Amino acid sequence: MFRKFSFWIPLVSLLIIVFHLTGLDAKTGFDDKGLLAYYTSPPFLLVDQHFAFKHAPLFYILTLFFWFLIGWIIDRLIKSVKSLFNK
């Protein structure tokens, strides 16, 4: 489980979301406009920024699902490449 991209990529995404939701990004001055959360979330990039942050919970869930899907695809590709070399 800990050796899979489908675990680590959504975990990093979740940490970015928590960082944004807690307001630590603005308090530390690291990301006062929320751009880290915006640019690391493909669902946010597909719609207007004002609309996305207005309906943020939906987009946070979509972001986690999207990165899980990307991790799952990477895991499947690695598994298929390993099976090619093990024959």
- As a whole number, the mean pLDDT across the chain is 86
Res 5: pLDDT: 95
Share of the chain above pLDDT 70, in %: 93
Contact criterion met (CB below 8 Å) for 67 and 10: yes
Helix (H) or strand (E) holding 16: helix 5-21
Is the pLDDT at 9 greater than 90? The verdict is yes
Q: Which amino acid is at 26?
A: A
Is the pLDDT at 10 greater than 90? The verdict is yes
Give mean pLDDT, residues 41-46.
84
Is the pLDDT at 52 greater than 70? The verdict is no
pLDDT band (50, 70, 90) for residue 32: confident
Give mean pLDDT, residues 44-70.
84
